Chains A and B, each alone.
Chain A
Amino acid sequence: MKAKAAKLVLFLAGLVILQQGIAFGHNNSALMGRQAALIEQEDIDPAALFYTESPLALKAEKTVRNKIGTALTSVF
């Protein structure tokens, strides 16, 4: 039982270390900090698997279609 409890505590400690490590990166690396702020501000989900899960991806496709509508017609 003690061994199981120790493993569980170790797991939880690992989670806290990982979370603190990422937070440290955000606070001390301008690059990571800027990207984290952008993700928060634009409400981006970096874990989205497919384009249908990301409103920004769906919007991006329509923006691109509108922009190149004329160019596409000439290509085909």
Chain B
Amino acid sequence: MAKWTEDTAAILLGFVIIALALAAFLVAPFSSVNESIVAAQLDSGFSVDAWSADNDSGNAVTAFLVDTVNGARPGRWALNPVSAVSVDFLFSAIVFFFFLAILFGGAALLMRRRADEFLKGFVFIFATGILAYLLANQVEFRSIGLGYELWAIVIGLLVSNVFGIPAFVRPALQPELYIKTGLVLLGAEVLFGKLLAIGLPGIFVAWIVTPIVLLSTFWFGQKVLKISSKTLNITISADMSVCGVSAAIATAAACRASKEELTTAVGLSMIFTAVMMVALPAFINAVGMPEVLGGAWIGGTIDATGAVVAAGAFLGDTALSVAATIKMIQNILIGVLAFGVAVYWATKVDNAQGRSVGASEIWLRFPKFVLGFLGASILFSLLIEILNTNTATILVENGVLDFTSDMRGWLFCLAFASIGLSANFRELKSQFHGGKPLVLYLCGQTLNLCLTLFMAWLMFYVVFPDITASLQG
């Protein structure tokens, strides 16, 4: 029997979680909820929010799953971290630990590793993840977007570089397995039907400018800055031009970038996002830019979705809606990005000698988890289109995807904890040698700001002023 690899195990784990979510959040409540919604939407005043407020689409199983995954994260706190810890939290954390232990212990067995050794180390990784969530939920840290990814890396680096990693932890340091499983779940959130949410202006701002900036920045890094690592270059370029940390994770996994390279890209993204989240809306306000233009500019340039929402909200409701929708369309690009990078690396970059290679060798090099990622994306894109729109919103978006995105958050957190614990601090420092990654990010972001502003103005004010008028109305 062929040995299971991290890629195939990640696909299996991802689809097990998706199947569980589909069974609990979609299949079980489907008939009653769909019937009720189809009847209710005949009323002219129907709204999904009002229906959700009056009706409960869940059941005991979904409530248990949601409470366990959400409850396993410590609460928000300001000065006393102990106030974030409650009995409910401890109970949920223990239950959730066993849930993950069964999944990943099973994966360890499939990959012919010792499950008992894996589980001993997994306790440590899970505890690091909880600490990361604890710091991310500190009120001030949260307000500037310092999320669990950053804290998981920082705590991991602190432990490994100050105390050293205990030997029993090493079998559970599987950042690729956690990341790839998380990416298969992320695929379910890449819904191609969302592309047309804001019509052609959105596609031009998010799907024309972004690849131009991505390719230009990558070219600049190779030809002008002469960055020695192509994987570092593409990870930073994707991170800066597409959608921050999630794009960095998908790209790094697709081109097999090192842990240190991914850490560098994530660090750069988080620092610049925190600055731009405050600076960009302030500048837009100062120059009196219209809300639609300002929103489109914010959505196309600030990396993380949460920061885009915060910056857009600062300008007003219209800016928030436009900014968040542009960012959402850009988020969808992540599927094409991961596939494109995986194919390019398998066929061109890994083939540095320039000799022609057969399809079988390309298949061997191709990161298989990308297929799981795309499969989940296609499955959910079709599902959303087939179902009644309102039923899909309530059962899929607010049910299945709400659960899988929380699971995915946990998996990324465990991945970053593993990265921090196993990253080489000297190697990490060497990434910044000569400041090239910083220069790459700054130059790429400058191009992104200029090009996005121009395209947003062209699309929303010259080519499609009717759409802009309807957004302002």
List A residues at the B interface (Cβ < 8 Å): 4, 7-8, 11, 15, 18-19, 22-23, 26, 31-32, 34-36, 38-40, 42, 44-54, 56-58, 60-65, 67-68, 70-72, 74-75
Minimum C-beta distance from B148 to chain A (A)? 7
Minimum C-beta distance from A46 to chain B (A)? 4
Minimum C-beta distance from A75 to chain B (A)? 6
Q: Which residues 303-358 of B sit at the A interface, judged by CB distance below 8 A? A: 304-310, 312-314, 320-325, 327-328, 331
Is B440's CB within 8 Å of the partner chain A? no
Minimum C-beta distance from B17 to chain A (A)? 15
Is B282's CB within 8 Å of the partner chain A? yes
Is B162's CB within 8 Å of the partner chain A? yes
Which residues of the other chain, A, contact B145 by a CB distance below 8 angstroms?
A: 46-47
List B residues at the A interface (Cβ < 8 Å): 48, 135-136, 138-149, 158, 162-163, 186, 189, 194, 196-200, 243-246, 277-278, 281-282, 304-310, 312-314, 320-325, 327-328, 331, 393, 397, 401-402, 405, 409, 412, 464, 466-467, 469-471, 473
A64 touches B277 (CB 8 A): no
Minimum C-beta distance from B50 to chain A (A)? 13
B305 touches A68 (CB 8 A): no
Given A47-B304, A61-B194, are A56 and B309 also a contact pair (CB < 8 Å)?
yes
B198 touches A64 (CB 8 A): yes
B189 touches A35 (CB 8 A): no
B466 touches A74 (CB 8 A): yes
Q: A49-B243, A68-B470, A71-B464 are in contact. List 5 more A-B contacts (CB 8 A).
A: A47-B304, A53-B306, A57-B325, A60-B323, A74-B466
Q: Give Cα A40–Cα B62 distance, bound, in whole angstroms.
A: 28
Minimum C-beta distance from B298 to chain A (A)? 12
User: Which of A44, A48, A62 interacts with B313 by CB under 8 Å?
Assistant: A44
Given A22-B144, A58-B397, A64-B471, are A51 and B327 also a contact pair (CB < 8 Å)?
yes
Q: Give Cα A67–Cα B199 distance, bound, in whole angstroms.
A: 11
Q: Look across to chain A and name the residue whose beta carbon is closest to the beta carbon of B198.
A: A64
Which residues of the other chain, A, contact B158 by a CB distance below 8 angstroms?
A: 7-8, 11
Q: Give Cα A63–Cα B473 distance, bound, in whole angstroms.
A: 12
A-B contact pairs, 17 of them (CB 8 A): A11-B162, A34-B314, A35-B314, A36-B143, A42-B313, A46-B143, A46-B304, A49-B243, A50-B243, A52-B189, A57-B308, A60-B321, A60-B324, A60-B325, A61-B197, A68-B470, A75-B199
Q: Give Cα A8–Cα B142 distance, bound, in whole angstroms.
A: 22
A39 touches B143 (CB 8 A): yes
Q: Look across to chain A and name the residue whose beta carbon is closest to the beta carbon of B307.
A: A46
User: Which of B149, B307, B323, B467 interacts with A68 by CB under 8 Å?
Assistant: B467
User: Which of B141, B194, B306 interacts with A44 by CB under 8 Å?
Assistant: B306
Given A68-B198, A68-B199, A75-B467, are A60 and B314 also a contact pair (CB < 8 Å)?
no
Minimum C-beta distance from A16 to chain B (A)? 10
**Would you call the interface of chain A mostly helix, strand, loop, or mixed?**
helix
Minimum C-beta distance from A15 to chain B (A)? 7
Which residues of the other chain, A, contact B320 by a CB distance below 8 angstroms?
A: 56, 60
Q: Look across to chain A and name the residue whose beta carbon is closest to the beta carbon of B158.
A: A11
B467 touches A71 (CB 8 A): yes
A40 touches B143 (CB 8 A): yes
Q: Give Cα A22–Cα B78 distance, bound, in whole angstroms.
A: 12
Minimum C-beta distance from B30 to chain A (A)? 20
Minimum C-beta distance from A63 to chain B (A)? 5
Greatest chain B CB density within 10 A among A32, A45, A64 is at A64
Q: Give Cα A19–Cα B471 distance, bound, in whole angstroms.
A: 39
Which residues of the other chain, A, contact B48 by a CB distance below 8 angstroms?
A: 62
Greatest chain A CB density within 10 A among B144, B308, B327 is at B144
Which residues of the other chain, A, contact B324 by a CB distance below 8 angstroms?
A: 51, 54, 56-57, 60-61
Given A11-B158, A57-B328, are A46 and B144 also a contact pair (CB < 8 Å)?
yes
Q: Look across to chain A and name the residue whose beta carbon is closest to the beta carbon of B163.
A: A4
Q: Look across to chain A and name the residue whose beta carbon is closest to the beta carbon of B320.
A: A60
Q: Look across to chain A and name the residue whose beta carbon is closest to the beta carbon of B157.
A: A11
Q: Give Cα A3–Cα B138 distance, bound, in whole angstroms.
A: 28
B466 touches A53 (CB 8 A): no
